[in-house]
Amino acid sequence: MCGRFSLTEEVLNLQRGFEFYYADEERPRYNIAPGQQILTVIEQEGARIGKSMKWGLVPSWAKDLKTGYKMINARSEGIETKPSFKVPFKKQRCLILADGFYEWKRINEGKQPYRFVMKSGLPFAFAGLWDVWDKGEEPLVTCTILTTAPNKVTEKVHDRMPVILNEEDYDFWLNSSVSETVQLSKLLVPYDEGAMEMYPVSTLVNSSKQDHPEMIKQLNSL
C-alpha cells in the first residue's frame, strides 16, 4: 500500500515538468497523509489541469464520507470489476504527483520507516482514480492511489508498491476517451527498480502532524 508520501518541489517546476495549468499555490509537503488535500493532474478538453483533491476515494454512490477512510489505495488486480473503482477506472483517471513515498519495515525495535525516491531526484506520478461525491453541502472531489506488486527495491520493505507511471504513458492514462481496460491495465505494473532507491528516515514521519524537512533526511545510523 501507500500510506504516506512527499511532494517538496516548487509548483512552477512541477507545472513545467508535467505540463499542466494550475492557478493556486502549493507549499512543500514532507509527510502527506490520508484525508489531506493533494495535488493531482487531470485532463479537461485536451489540456492537463492541476486539481486539489482529498486523498481517500468516496464513490459517487456512497451514502456517507466514511468510505473514503478505507479507500486511500486500490489494488490494480481486477480493478475493472470492483464496484467502487470500475467507473473511475474507465473515465476518471489522474496523476498524483510525488517526489517520494514511505513504507515501514518491521524490526526488533518496532517499525522503521523508509523513503523511496527516484535516483534522478525528480518528481514522478502515481496512477490515480478520482470521483465526485455530491450528497453534502458542496461537491467533494476525492482520489485513490493504485497499487501493484513490489519491485526488487520495494519488496525489501513491503509486499505492495504504488503504481508509478512512465512519462510516455501520461497522455494515454489521462485521456478520458480511452476506456480500453485491457490496455489501461498493462500500465499497472511495478516500476523499474533500476531507477529507484530507498533509505531510512526518522520515525517522526509516523505522526501525520509532523510535516517539515526533517522527514526526508536520511538516517546515518542504520
From CA 94, how far away is CA 141, in angstroms rounded?
12
Cβ–Cβ < 8 Å for 41, 95? yes
Q: How far is CA 193 from the centre of its chain?
A: 18
Residue 214 appears among annotated catalytic residues: no
H or E element that contains 50: strand 47-55
Residue with cell 486500490: 74
* 136-143 contacts, C-beta under 8 A, 24 or more apart: 136/65, 140/54, 140/58, 140/65, 141/51, 141/52, 141/53, 141/54, 142/53, 142/54, 142/55, 142/56, 142/57, 142/58, 142/68, 143/38, 143/40, 143/53, 143/54, 143/55, 143/56, 143/57, 143/94, 143/96
Among 2, 26, 94, 143, the one annotated catalytic: 2
Among 9, 26, 43, 103, the one annotated catalytic: 103
Residue 19 appears among annotated catalytic residues: no
Secondary structure (3-state) at 162: strand
Cβ–Cβ < 8 Å for 174, 167? no
Active site residues: 2, 103
